[in-house]
Structure formats: structure tokens, C-alpha cells
Amino acid sequence: MKTFLFVGLFSLLTIIQSVAQPRVVADCTITYAISTDESSADKNVTESLKASTKTVYIRGNDSRTDLVSPSFTQSLLYNKTTGNAVILREFGNNKFMTKLDNAKWAAENKRYDGMAVSLAAAETKTILGYECKKAVIVLKDGSAFTLYYATAIVPSVKEFEYQFKDVPGFVLEFESQEAGSKKIKYTATKINLSPVQASRFDVPTSGYRLLN
């Protein structure tokens, strides 16, 4: 009888733990729509943002973020194992590459050092079928932005978006604001959990001008 009770209790605890723990997503493609407050933004800027997209690819310890707009394209390749990043920028026929080692990548994101993440568990919304909780990130300079993260899934790589590295889930919506600029909102519109081709994370060996 005691053995039966022990087995039953162990099984119950296992089920509870599996429900509580988010699923680590190591292969996925997520597309984000980009928007801003039309009432407070230049019409040309608003239309340009509507025509822009952000796509995040994750495969194991590799990530790639493509930001595509009518005037330029930027890709960020990041490897969690090495902590190195590569930024590719295209302006028409001009192509530039910047390579950042672990130390340079940390320096690039120095503005996020000492940031405070406040989780507002009571405020939720559903995005692409996932229940998302609200969080607010406050930087040392006092600037802040809000986000919503899915509680059921977490990406295998977080540091490519340094400001989200301490968020306990997958960020599916967030607001970004640079000094003196309008708030820009990124909202996930599609998530694909199919395997991502490894070639997606290859660093080009030619065709780009290397910048220091």
C-alpha cells in the first residue's frame, strides 16, 4: 500500500512539474509585424514600418534575425556557444559586415547592464494561441518598455536580444523606443516550429565589405 501511494505521489509530482516547466524551443521561425502610433507618427514612417518585417530563426545555439524594410536589410547572426555575433547590412547594392566577438557583443549591449525586469503576472493576452504575460523592463537611464512573453515556451537562445535574456518565456510582442523617437511595436504574426536549415546561419565569405 505504501509503495502504491509513493508511486502515485511521484507520478503526480512529475505531471505537475512538466506542466509548470516551459518547453524549450530549439527550432523555430517567428515573423513579427512592425507598427507605430499612426496619430503621432510621420505618414511616410508609418507606411515604411507597415511594409517592414522582422523574422527570427532559431536552431540549437544559433539564431538569426532578419529586419527587412523598403530601404535596407539587416541580419544579425548570433552563436550562444561562442557569444560571437555578425551583423550584415544591405543598402541597395552596398553590403557591409561587422563581426563582434564576445567582449564586443557585450559592449554593444552595455546600455542594458543593470536593467530591471518587472513581471506583471496579472496582465495577460493571447498571441498566436499562447497565453502571454506582461513584463516591463527599466534601464539605468530610466527609459522603459513593455513586452508580452509566452509562458509555455522559451527559446534555446535568448542573448541575441540582450534585453530579453532574463525574461522567463518567449517574447511575442514588445515596444521599442530610442531616445527622442516614437514607440515602435513588434507583434508576432506567425510561428513555425519546423526545423530550420543549418545553412541559414552561415556567415558569407564574400560580397560584403568588412567594417571594424
Tell me the pLDDT tens digit for each residue of 100-136: 999 999 999 999 999 999 988 788 999 999 999 999 9
15 within a domain of the structure (yes/no): no
The tens digit of pLDDT for each residue in 29-56 reads 999 999 887 655 566 666 667 789 999 9
Prediction pTM value = 0.84
13 within a domain of the structure (yes/no): no
Distance CA 3, CA 92 (A): 71
Q: What is the mean pLDDT of the chain?
A: 87
203 within a domain of the structure (yes/no): yes
Give the distance, in angstroms, between the CA of residue 134 and the centroid of all CA atoms in the same chain: 15
Q: Among 68, 59, 76, 62, which Cα is nearest to 31's?
A: 68
Burial grade of 198 (CB within 10 A; 0-12, 13-18, 19 or more):
exposed
* % of the chain exceeding 70 in pLDDT: 83
Distance CA 26, CA 119 (A): 24
Domain that holds residue 128: 22-211
165 within a domain of the structure (yes/no): yes
Number of folded domains that form the chain: 1
Contact 207, 183 (CB under 8 A): no
Mean predicted confidence (pLDDT) in 170-176: 93
Q: Does residue 15 carry a pLDDT above 90?
A: no
Q: Does residue 13 carry a pLDDT above 60?
A: no
What's the grid cell of residue 209? Answer: 565589405
8 within a domain of the structure (yes/no): no
Q: Which helix (H) or strand (E) holds 136?
A: strand 130-138
Query: DSSP letter string over 139-194?
Result: -TTS-EEEEEEESSEEES--TTSGGGTT-SSEEEEEEE--TTS--EEEEEEEEE-S
Q: What is the pLDDT of residue 16?
A: 41
Mean predicted confidence (pLDDT) in 74-78: 98
CATH of the domain at 111: 2.50.20.10
Mean predicted confidence (pLDDT) in 130-159: 93
Q: What is the pLDDT of residue 3?
A: 52
7 within a domain of the structure (yes/no): no
